[in-house]
Amino acid sequence: MLFSDLKLNEDEPIYIQIKNYIDAMINKGLIPNNSKLPSTRELSQFLNVSRNSIISAYEELKSEGIIYSVSGKGTFVNHKNIISKNSWNINFDLLENEYSKIANKMDIVKSEIPWRSDLISFKSISPDGELFDIDEVKKSFLNRISLEGHKILNYGYAKGYKPLIDYLLSYMNIKGVDTSNKDILITNGFTEGLDIILSSFTEKGDYIICENPTHNTAIKIFKSLGLNIIGIDINKNGIDFNKFKEDLYKIKLDKSIKIKFAYITPSYHNPTGIVMSPEDRYKFYNIMKENNIAIIEDGFNEELLYTSSHIFPIASLDNLNNGVIYIGSFSKILFPGIRIGWILCDKDVIKKLESVKRCKSIHVSFLDQAILYDYLSNGAFDKYVKKIRKFYGDKFNFAYECVQRYIPNEYILGEGGLHIFIKLKDLDSRIVLERCYEKGVIFMPGDIFYIGENGRNTLRLGISRVSMENMEKGIKIIGEVVKDLMKYKK
Amino acid sequence: MLFSDLKLNEDEPIYIQIKNYIDAMINKGLIPNNSKLPSTRELSQFLNVSRNSIISAYEELKSEGIIYSVSGKGTFVNHKNIISKNSWNINFDLLENEYSKIANKMDIVKSEIPWRSDLISFKSISPDGELFDIDEVKKSFLNRISLEGHKILNYGYAKGYKPLIDYLLSYMNIKGVDTSNKDILITNGFTEGLDIILSSFTEKGDYIICENPTHNTAIKIFKSLGLNIIGIDINKNGIDFNKFKEDLYKIKLDKSIKIKFAYITPSYHNPTGIVMSPEDRYKFYNIMKENNIAIIEDGFNEELLYTSSHIFPIASLDNLNNGVIYIGSFSKILFPGIRIGWILCDKDVIKKLESVKRCKSIHVSFLDQAILYDYLSNGAFDKYVKKIRKFYGDKFNFAYECVQRYIPNEYILGEGGLHIFIKLKDLDSRIVLERCYEKGVIFMPGDIFYIGENGRNTLRLGISRVSMENMEKGIKIIGEVVKDLMKYKK
């Protein structure tokens, strides 16, 4: 207890002893900043000394700026003047490692144009929150919390919530994946899934194959983990398989190059929007199989495939094998705020990844997993998917029309989904963006999706959160800017 | 569309052409496993050929085991016999890196004694789920989901949900931390917090100081990241500061040794249960400051301090400096299932960690953060903490008494909280555990908390989830086993 170990002696004035005691306590940090000291009356009683001694001690401390009074409230500690005498400042810039530096440098959120409510923004491909059926989420929550609240609020298993895992296994089964030798790990969305796989199976300096362009977050994760990237160029027809085979053959002549994985997004590829045909999926799978390079398949937006019954994930080609690691997520259509994704792959691989997940963050929120499970299994999801396919389908078609009508281009890519990819005729999309921003319109410059310095003349329009009215208005403005800049070029 | 690209020629029997077409489609994986083929009638109409041709084609495929019929249901695809012809098996053991290997090897869950409902288990220090006030959680959920459901179910910010961050800043302020130059990052519990800090600021081969013994998950994270560990021995009086200073002085003579952090758990230290006195906190802080080694303070179970108004976190000694990174979590007392923790430290450091968090898993569930915020700020948390302090306090006192009464020991440590630490008189606790398991009682052998090969004669009893009745029964059994083994020794 404060003051209880204060032994007053007879050699020094009482008020000095009290002052020094308080000073020392504050200096040691034993009295926190802004905490209230006893009143002079209380302290004089407690220490059994005259009230004047206390008043004098407090006055001394006040004059040094170590304590302060607020009239009617009392006397308080002020750390500022103490600590600054004796400050400690670690240079964390020097401690920071390469991983953090790259994660910071490539964090596009930090260099983004600040959001303003009056902007028409084509940047996002997040789902439109207004479409979420909140009542169904409520029902699912109340159902799970009543049935097993004490359980789902307590620690769970690293692998995930069993009913959700079982649901997703049969969900993947319907997509043509034989799950008899497979298992699932629940992750904090796609991003953690990719991070867990790569941080378990790659070393700095390893190589990874991916489409060029590709999902910018994936590029960031590859680079931050020190991986070398081999890009497969995508043009408006998708992958040129003959060229890809040749390139791969040449690369593999250098025996020091260790290609660990090929990362691919076959459905509504980000940013181009291309949906890989079943035949191309088959070709890609076989090239990887021949070369013994494991595939990481990003199930991104697969749920939006209008004709999903005819296009199966690459994972479905790998039945009874272990060559494909599939990462699924509903985040682009359903509740990204709760951050739930999954890795589906060989059982033995899941066992390894499960321990890595436990080492990184124990497990994903069991409350969220239980809510999602309830929502998926009670039929609400099917209704929701039907609704949003129609909603986003209409939106996409309208946006595509507008782009065709208003924006001069070399080509437009996209077959549905939440974004459209545009290649301009020899114009720098960063300059277009600058001009558009002045007119209140923003979008994603395409270069962020490219490995190296390419894609300066491309851009991605995210359409999911733009109203129909703003859609036409915004695309018209982009078109005008493009036309204007093209005139200037000639 | 399946069959629409089948061009029949006149050179081959129709049924062979149809059989080969289906065979090829299945082989390419374009028809998923167990999917239903058209009936012979449908297909004969669609292809405009005789039904007999279809029947013959199907019969051929059946005889090869590629399709099968279920009477009354139809004909289905069977992938098994195809893929096995042509299997692909990647050796992931060869791809696995050191990080994953260590995370797997040190995953104690995998080597644990399987749980049985008839066991009295002192292993866990998870909170007792029966204490959770589910009704308050419901209220908080319904409140937030009604107010901002569309928002909290959609993408949020890497740093966290603003109201929760603000709440926690003032919460830490009350604990004596001047937050004027500090900020908070919300993480998936303590584990992700520690992982994010270390994976941003350390390199393989760096050194980290920690108490020995310490939290086993922390040891696992250190080792998996390739850090060298310098243990500060703890005995029943806590840290021997003179010895620690000397050791540190000697270690620092080797200039190649880079000590990046000191990790410390000052309250109800895991596993010893020691609560560091304010004076010791001050000493520890100053030694680290003199040596310019940043402190990672684990706020573990601080909320259970009965006398919390007199003991402040080490972070409160660092006001206006940047030497302490504090990791907080309510997981040991409140809803560990939702996995929410926080890092409090210098603003500029949080900016770096924020990008790393975004790179690893985007952000923590906004739904969970919003529920927790509501629950904390509406007063439910205060009521809950009062209730559980009393509940766990009574439990601890009873358990401590039982241990004193029944288990012969060198010493017992623990001052409250959710566990008791026992040092046996020269007995291997793994052997004690084996015998106890036969009698239906299990606990945590102490060695898992030690760096290196120490602690074989210690054990930790987690008391949070054991009923009062089983407490005495279980501790009595442990005591009997210990006495028995001691007799045998003599």
Query: What DSSP letter does each residue of B147-170 carry, written as one string?
Result: HHHHHHTS---SS--HHHHHHHHH
Q: What is the pLDDT of residue B20?
A: 86
Decide: A298 and A281 in contact? Cβ < 8 Å. Answer: no
String of DSSP letters for B248-306:
HHHHHHSTT--EEEEEE--SS-TTT-----HHHHHHHHHHHHHTT-EEEEE-TTGGG-T
Structure tokens at A146: 């009543």
Give the chain A residue nearest B144 (alpha carbons).
A138
What sign does the CA torsion over A128, A134, A136, A139 have?
positive
Query: Does A188 contact chain B (CB < 8 Å)?
Result: yes
The predicted-structure confidence for A29-62, as pLDDT tens digits, reads as follows 678 778 888 999 989 998 899 999 999 899 888 8
Q: What is the pLDDT of residue B189?
A: 96
Report, as an integer, the average pLDDT of A328-355: 94
User: Residue B307: pLDDT above 80?
Assistant: no
Q: Which one of B280, B339, B374 makes the best mutation probe of the A interface by having the most chain A beta carbons within 10 Å?
A: B339
Q: Name chain B contacts of A307, Cβ cutoff 8 Å.
A: none
Query: Does B360 contact chain A (CB < 8 Å)?
Result: yes
User: Residue A82: pLDDT above 70?
Assistant: no
| Portion 392-431 of B in contact with A at CB < 8 A | none
Report, as an integer, the average pLDDT of B221-232: 97
The predicted-structure confidence for B460-487, as pLDDT tens digits, reads as follows 999 999 999 999 999 999 999 999 999 9
Report, as an integer, the average pLDDT of B26-47: 84
Report, as an integer, the average pLDDT of A340-368: 97
Q: Name chain A contacts of B142, Cβ cutoff 8 Å.
A: 138
Structure tokens at B109: 């869950």
User: Residue B1: pLDDT above 80?
Assistant: no
Query: Does B352 contact chain A (CB < 8 Å)?
Result: yes
Kindly determine whether residue A368 and residue B338, on different chains, have CB atoms separated by under 8 Å: yes
Please provide the average confidence, as pLDDT, over all residues in chain A. Answer: 92
User: Cα separation of B129 and B47, whole Å?
Assistant: 63
Beta pairing, strands B207-212 & B182-187? unpaired
Q: What is the pLDDT of residue B375?
A: 96
The predicted-structure confidence for B246-294, as pLDDT tens digits, reads as follows 999 999 999 999 999 999 999 999 999 999 998 899 999 999 999 999 9
ipTM of the complex: 0.87
- Long-range Cβ pairs for the range A85-94 (8 Å, 24+): A87/B320, A87/B321, A88/B289, A88/B292, A88/B318, A88/B321, A88/B322, A88/B323, A89/B321, A89/B322, A89/B323, A90/B292, A90/B294, A90/B322, A90/B323, A92/B201, A92/B294, A92/B322, A92/B346, A92/B348, A92/B349, A92/B352
Using CA atoms, how far residue B459 sits from A129, A242, B124, B126, B272, in Å, is 51, 64, 13, 17, 9
The predicted-structure confidence for A258-267, as pLDDT tens digits, reads as follows 999 999 999 9
User: Residue A490: pLDDT above 80?
Assistant: no
Structure tokens at A34: 């802004």
The predicted-structure confidence for A313-332, as pLDDT tens digits, reads as follows 999 999 889 999 999 998 87
Q: What is the pLDDT of residue B77?
A: 87
Kind plus residue range of the DSSP H or E element containing B477 = helix B468-489
Q: What percent of chain B has pLDDT over 90?
A: 74
How far off is chain B from A67, nearest CA to CA, in Å?
A: 15
Q: Name chain A contacts of B200, Cβ cutoff 8 Å.
A: 96-97, 99-100, 103
Kindly determine whether residue A126 and residue B220, on different chains, have CB atoms separated by under 8 Å: no
Kindly determine whether residue A107 and residue B359, on different chains, have CB atoms separated by under 8 Å: yes
Query: Does A65 contact chain B (CB < 8 Å)?
Result: no
SS3 for B406? helix
Kindly determine whether residue B356 and residue A84, on different chains, have CB atoms separated by under 8 Å: no
Of B419, B410, B431, which is closest to residue B478 (Cα–Cα)? B431
Kindly determine whether residue B368 and residue A367, on different chains, have CB atoms separated by under 8 Å: yes
Report, as an integer, the average pLDDT of A121-125: 95
String of DSSP letters for A421-464:
EEE-SS--HHHHHHHHHHTTEEEEEGGGGSSTT--TTEEEEE-T
Confidence class of residue B85 from pLDDT cuts 50, 70 and 90? low
Query: Does A156 contact chain B (CB < 8 Å)?
Result: yes
Q: What is the pLDDT of residue B124?
A: 92
Query: What's CA A318's distance to the chain center, in Å?
Result: 29
Range of weakest confidence among A144-158, A311-325, B58-72, B395-409: B58-72
Using CA atoms, how far residue B80 sits from A290, B33, B300, in Å, is 20, 8, 52
| Portion 133-152 of B in contact with A at CB < 8 A | 134, 137-138, 141-142, 145, 149-152
Q: What is the pLDDT of residue B490?
A: 67
Sequence-ordered list of residues with C-beta below 8 angstroms from that of B335, at least 6 positions apart, any chain = A153, A154, A367, B132, B137, B372
Q: What is the pLDDT of residue B236?
A: 86
Q: Which residue has the tokens 């908390």?
A: B449
User: Cα separation of A407 and A404, whole Å?
Assistant: 6
Please provide the average confidence, as pLDDT, over all residues in chain B. Answer: 92
Q: Name chain A contacts of B84, Cβ cutoff 8 Å.
A: 320
Q: What is the pLDDT of residue A83?
A: 53
Range of weakest confidence among A2-16, A184-198, B41-55, B144-158: A2-16
Q: What is the pLDDT of residue B82?
A: 63
Q: Name chain A contacts of B282, Cβ cutoff 8 Å.
A: 28-30
Q: Name chain B contacts of A191, Cβ cutoff 8 Å.
A: 359-362
Of A71, A59, A49, A72, which is closest to residue A22 (Cα–Cα)? A59
Decide: B295 and B325 in contact? Cβ < 8 Å. Answer: yes
Sheet strand arrangement including B238-239: B182-187, B341-346, B324-329, B294-298, B259-264, B207-212, B228-235, B238-239
User: Residue A191: pLDDT above 60?
Assistant: yes
User: Cα separation of B149 and A130, whole Å?
Assistant: 9
Q: Name chain A contacts of B90, Cβ cutoff 8 Å.
A: 292, 294, 322-323
Q: Prior bond to A266 cis, omega within 30? A: no
DSSP letter assigned to residue A267: S
User: Cα separation of A411 and A243, whole Å?
Assistant: 21
User: Cα separation of B40 and B35, whole Å?
Assistant: 15
Amino acid at position A88, single letter: W
Structure tokens at B475: 């501790």
Which residue(s) pair with A423 in the sheet? A411, A458
Beta pairing, strands A67-70 & A74-77? antiparallel
Using CA atoms, how far residue B175 sits from A344, B167, B185, B342, in Å, is 44, 13, 18, 15
Q: Name chain A contacts of B99, Cβ cutoff 8 Å.
A: 199-200, 356
Using CA atoms, how far residue A44 sits from A8, A18, A38, A55, B117, in Å, is 13, 11, 9, 9, 60
Report, as an integer, the average pLDDT of B381-389: 92
Kindly determine whether residue B142 and residue A138, on different chains, have CB atoms separated by under 8 Å: yes
Kindly determine whether residue B79 and residue A338, on different chains, have CB atoms separated by under 8 Å: no
Task: Report the length, in residues, of chain A.
Answer: 490
Q: What is the pLDDT of residue B60?
A: 86
Query: Does A224 contact chain B (CB < 8 Å)?
Result: yes
Report, as an integer, the average pLDDT of B357-377: 97
User: Cα separation of B403 and B398, whole Å?
Assistant: 9
Kind plus residue range of the DSSP H or E element containing B329 = strand B324-329
Q: Name chain B contacts of A362, Cβ cutoff 8 Å.
A: 188-189, 191-192, 339
Q: Which residue has the tokens 């250098």?
A: A254
Kindly determine whether residue B28 and residue A282, on different chains, have CB atoms separated by under 8 Å: yes
User: Cα separation of B490 and B484, whole Å?
Assistant: 10
Confidence class of residue A27 from pLDDT cuts 50, 70 and 90? confident
Give the chain A residue nearest B314 (alpha carbons).
A29
Q: Provide the terminal-to-terminal Cα distance of chain A, rounded to the nearest Å.
A: 82
CB atoms within 10 A of CB B105: 13
Query: Does B223 contact chain A (CB < 8 Å)?
Result: no
Structure tokens at A11: 């050699």
Q: Name chain B contacts of A156, Cβ cutoff 8 Å.
A: 337
| Facing residue for A201 by CB, picked from B92, B134, B356 | B92
Q: What is the pLDDT of residue A81?
A: 64
Query: Does A158 contact chain B (CB < 8 Å)?
Result: yes
Query: Does B226 contact chain A (CB < 8 Å)?
Result: no
Query: Does A380 contact chain B (CB < 8 Å)?
Result: no
What are the phi and psi torsion angles at A440 (to 5°)?
A: 85, 20
Query: Does B358 contact chain A (CB < 8 Å)?
Result: yes
Structure tokens at B255: 């200039």
What sign does the CA torsion over B350, B355, B356, B361 have?
positive
| Portion 298-337 of B in contact with A at CB < 8 A | 310, 312, 316-323, 331, 335-337
- Using CB atoms within 10 Å of the CB of residue B397, give its burial: 0 to 12 exposed, 13 to 18 middle, 19+ buried: exposed
Q: Name chain B contacts of A32, Cβ cutoff 8 Å.
A: 175-177, 312, 316
The predicted-structure confidence for B174-194, as pLDDT tens digits, reads as follows 888 999 999 999 999 999 999
Query: Does B121 contact chain A (CB < 8 Å)?
Result: no
Query: Does B179 contact chain A (CB < 8 Å)?
Result: no
Decide: A268 and A418 in contact? Cβ < 8 Å. Answer: yes
- Using CB atoms within 10 Å of the CB of residue A253, give its burial: 0 to 12 exposed, 13 to 18 middle, 19+ buried: exposed
User: Residue B341: pLDDT above 80?
Assistant: yes
Using CA atoms, how far residue B323 sits from B264, B296, B330, in Å, is 13, 9, 23
Of A44, A282, A158, which is closest to residue B188 (Cα–Cα)? A158
User: Residue B125: pLDDT above 90?
Assistant: yes
How far off is chain A from B154, nearest CA to CA, in Å?
A: 4
Q: Name chain A contacts of B107, Cβ cutoff 8 Å.
A: 355, 358-359
The predicted-structure confidence for B408-439, as pLDDT tens digits, reads as follows 999 999 988 899 999 999 999 999 999 999 99
Q: Looking at per-residue confidence, does A35 or A155 come out higher?
A: A155
Report, as an integer, the average pLDDT of A276-304: 92
User: Residue B390: pLDDT above 70?
Assistant: yes
Catalogue the E-assigned strands of A324-474: 324-329, 341-346, 411-413, 419-423, 441-445, 458-462
Q: Name chain A contacts of B145, Cβ cutoff 8 Å.
A: 134, 137-138, 141
User: Residue B139: pLDDT above 60?
Assistant: yes
Kindly determine whether residue B352 and residue A100, on different chains, have CB atoms separated by under 8 Å: yes
| Facing residue for A336 by CB, picked from B95, B154, B279 | B154
User: Residue A85: pLDDT above 60?
Assistant: no
Of B344, B268, B265, which is closest to residue B306 (Cα–Cα)? B268
Confidence class of residue B393 from pLDDT cuts 50, 70 and 90? very high
SS3 for A49? coil
Query: Does A11 contact chain B (CB < 8 Å)?
Result: no
Q: Give the A:B interface size as CB pairs under 8 Å.
A: 344
What are the phi and psi torsion angles at A423 (to 5°)?
A: -105, 120
Structure tokens at A372: 């999602």
Confidence class of residue B310 from pLDDT cuts 50, 70 and 90? low
Q: What is the pLDDT of residue B83?
A: 53
User: Cα separation of B212 and B455, whole Å?
Assistant: 9
Range of weakest confidence among A70-74, A228-232, B77-81: B77-81
Catalogue the E-assigned strands of A160-221: 182-187, 207-212
The predicted-structure confidence for A384-437, as pLDDT tens digits, reads as follows 999 999 999 999 999 999 999 999 999 999 988 899 999 999 999 999 999 999
